[in-house]
Structure 1
């Protein structure tokens, strides 16, 4: 077997190891227990301006686990669906399930009944823990699932009594956010925890390679795919993240902003698992779409030292002048993921923050998710996703021949190997075989090598626009347009053309309403060759985004037309 190429090692900071001890814990329950013991007196989570300590999170988690194990009869390998936003109930539910040896199935609470049903059926979930606002929908599809129990919680359940009661009353009776449901057919989350104090949790033999999560990568179209992520996959990714970021942080002294939903793999691994591992205090934002509320939370908790986010969040920070409104004096680590950070956004954030760069990361659900990060020593945006993590191997192959690419600036498909790579897709041998190439995980992303082993993402293979036989990458155009001071957000797709096969359509949210289409076209001509110029420009008030703020190009493409 030929020796793996590792050109990125030369770009590692001196205090970053080439490999990690992936087996620092046998399972995620051990990671959780260790963190709760080390940092027992420290605040673990803050929600609605109320804090809960590591000691109390440990207590409530064990009680819920004991209740599910002894009263509901769950056993190792059973599936627990969790349909929750960023509330304190989320980590309690997840770790209670993991300590019982269950496999966690994260589901987006904004999904429709049809989408939730698809994941519940495919995963064969036995129990679901969800907000009471979802109960009616769950009850409508219940008979079509494998569910045996529904555990219902209210937003304010884990808050101090008076505050929690007020929040729950407002949700039910003032805001009318809770559709009617049959209360006899659900178990109450707080009651389960209360009853759990009567039981003693029996230790379950959970091994490193046992499945911890069925993390679904889709489901809005076609059959959803559940990536089987083991305890070892997640623990390895935590160790890899720590190897890259540890020199920049102080364990037991950090505070992290969790604006991304915890059910998303990026936030689940970095904002939950890694945050617990380093003993951070986690500021939970339940609805990131309400940016004014996020600013108010930061004003009350300005000691935030770590921020993770996507391009949309960083853009909002700049456009809402957050750094003028809140003095984030402890901020020292900003990590971008989920989608590419645009050059214009990165530059404005760097200036607004007083010189704190966005360290872009790259990953995918199938890799737990981190594969590459920009080293902590990087001072400004360089247009790359950084370098592969310790104990991770990367290669780029020609999409036509399958031959490995070693030259810089030559595009091909990016592929990975490493301890964080999934076992496969649950009950889906066809898709599993399709995504692996001789043990290498195919990402579906076009990338190229840069100097020092850095990797630059060009675009998704499926998003390439072919204009008169030339490959055009939407991200390149978006990066150019995002640098225009009059542009707030933008997105690019290809639309059918009788003349060129496809032509380029640009969607723009204007920051300055004086911006005209002709002005924007003139701007683009300074930076783009003729076949890359947008032929169609549409000014819009908003762009379709996923729960983590990623622009969903496929929704824009649904309005395709002949030109």
Structure 2
């Protein structure tokens, strides 16, 4: 029923099915694009551009170093921990060409978070920005990582600019804390060691693992979603078919402010843009509106991928509003719900509507999107080709079209499962390939889908999933804390922000400042609470589980009164 429902629903020109086996592996896509668009720009960052042919050459040098100067073999995991820099696609495609499995790592992670991800994935190598090498120094002895590459922000820039940028970061802004990693090699040294060396191109099968992308899934435990070669290839072809059907191959210029270590940006800029021969302008720090505006003002950009928080920030920045948007034809939103007022404001400023989509790390990530030529504000669009949605009730029974229930997804982009967690996989993925999203919504008769509620306890901060379980586990380990709970509260800038409730142990006098510092020291920035409230007790179920819903309802009621 569901698999065939959309066959006649797509606008003219959009296929209902794609061939996920058009390429056997990502290496084939990469080589195809680098040959076809050899002289075209592939990535730009801090004013310097790499062509597709240069990207192929440099990634080959990185691959050759991996193969000839380390003991890594195909199937080993390599963690990439960098913001948006030219070094990222070089290391990414070099590792892929050597047959390694990518483990994307947030460069803002704390030592605790790094240690969990590196150990869970079994990573044996790490490419890390120097700014967080001091954390790597703490963590590496507790992991299986043997090979470490350290890069600085300006490493891929021309000689004089490289030294100027790196010196400014290290000595003027003092953004690189001291570290001691004698076994580490610099990124430039690694490329030098691989220069002129032959690469034995890996040739994984379509169902071989390509990436472990970490997510909270539908619970708070950070798990690696196993994304295969076929998953990622299918999703890039699906996105191209539905979301970018009006693109001119080899001519699009896409602004890339979202971090490539996040699956939404990764698939958009490293997979989809690759297939389309597009030029991605990488923004290292999108929070700096002045630098970002200056960077993108130099390009007649045709596409912009962002999320609600970023759209708010830019629309409120006068120099951005004065840019030339005459070439902008596609703005895509994902990662967090798009507010209608912001969508209207963006279109007013740029003249370009925002097309909202929907996805999960577990779906590589794009599962639905508004077609380029026919979008509905407030909906997440239609399933990308070769994908079906359905809704189920609380007992797991299928519901008719139009009825509200938990959304489930089936398609070639759905993950293989969670890395080494068969029980967690079985909770969300059934034997027929349907993935439970935990999101509540309904399917309209015209094929468009709307979300009406999110996963019960998940907090969505600027497009990042934050799970109360993790926050509460950290806070509960703080001396003086008896009970605690974390919830999301509305926030104009980030969609939601975090509030924690604390019951002190008898005799404890811990303060709000101490709680915030403890969370700051143990959690990435977007996971840190903004508000702390002390209580004598928390609302509990009969079995002693904290009723977060009750806390949320109380908080919303208070905010409405004020």
| Larger CA deviation: 279-288 vs 198-207 | 198-207
**Residue of structure 2 equivalent to 1:362:** 358
Which residue is 2:78 aligned to?
A: 80
TM-score (norm 1): 0.81
* Among 129, 134, 137, the residue aligned to 2:127: 129
CA distance in 1, matches of 2:155, 2:488: 47
Q: Is 1:387 paired with 2:382?
A: yes
In 2: Cα distance, 1:556 partner to 1:448 partner: 33
Q: Does 1:425 align with 2:418?
A: yes
The answer for the alignment partner of 1:65 in structure 2 is: 63
Aligned length: 483
CA distance in 2, matches of 1:428, 1:461: 21
Whether the 8 Å CA contact 2:124–2:146 is kept in 1: the answer is: yes
Structure 1 position 396 matched with structure 2 position 394? no
Change (3 A) 1:238 1:559: farther
Q: Once the 2 structures are TM-superposed, how far is the Cα of residue 280 of structure 1 from its aligned partner?
A: 1.0
Say if 1:198 and 1:62 are closer, same or farther in 2 by CA, change over 3 A: same
The answer to whether the 8 A contact 1:6-1:453 is kept is no
Residue among 418, 426, 446 paired with 1:452:
446
Structure 2 residue matching 1:405: 3-state secondary structure = coil
Instruction: Indicate whether 1:315 and 2:312 are aligned.
Output: yes
Match of 1:414 in 2: 407
Shift of 1:4: 3.5
Alpha-carbon distance in structure 2 between the residues aligned to 1:436 and 1:395: 14
Mark the runs of 5 or more structure 2 residues left unpaired by the alignment.
461-467, 469-486, 494-518, 539-553, 555-562
- 2 CA distance for matches of 1:6 and 1:456? 19
Paired position in structure 2 for 1:192: 190
Moved more, 35-44 or 323-332: 323-332
How far does residue 199 in structure 1 lie from its aligned partner after superposition? 2.1
Matched position secondary structure for 1:137: helix
Whole-angstrom distance in 2 between the partners of 1:444 and 1:557 = 27
> Structure 1 residues 425 and 509, CA, compared in 2 at 3 Å: closer, same or farther?
closer
Task: Give, in angstroms, the shift of residue 451 of structure 1.
Answer: 3.3
- 1:146-295 pair list within 5 angstroms: 146-218=144-216, 223-295=221-293
Q: Distance in 1 between matches of 2:123 and 2:323?
A: 43
Asked if the contact 1:22/1:419 (under 8 Å) is kept, the reply is yes
Q: 2:321 matched to which residue of 1? A: 324
Question: Could you tell me how far apart the structure 2 residues matched to 1:99 and 1:248 are?
Answer: 31
- Does the CA contact (< 8 Å) of 1:339 and 1:550 recur in 2? no
Tell me the distance in 2 between the aligned counterparts of 1:146 and 1:505: 35
CA distance in 1, matches of 2:491, 2:181: 46
Whether the 8 Å CA contact 1:127–1:150 is kept in 2: the answer is yes
Structure 2: distance between partners of 1:35 and 1:153 = 26
Residues 419 and 550 of structure 1: is their aligned pair in 2 closer, same or farther, counting only changes over 3 Å? farther
The C-alpha deviation readout for 1:350-399, integer Å capped at 9, x for no partner, is 22222x211111000001000000111125x521100111100110111x
Give, in angstroms, the shift of residue 198 of structure 1.
4.1
Structure 2 counterpart of 1:374, from 363, 370, 377: 370
Label 1:506 to 1:127 Cα distance change in 2 as closer, same or farther (>3 A).
closer
CA distance in 1, matches of 2:308, 2:68: 45
Tell me how far apart the structure 2 counterparts of residues 557 and 14 of structure 1 sit (CA, whole Å): 50
**CA displacement 1:125-156 (0-9 Å, x = unmatched):** 01000111221111111111001111111111
Q: Structure 1 unaligned runs (5+)?
A: 465-473, 476-492, 494-503, 511-543
Q: Secondary structure at the match of 1:133?
A: helix
CA contact (8 A) 2:27 2:203 kept: no
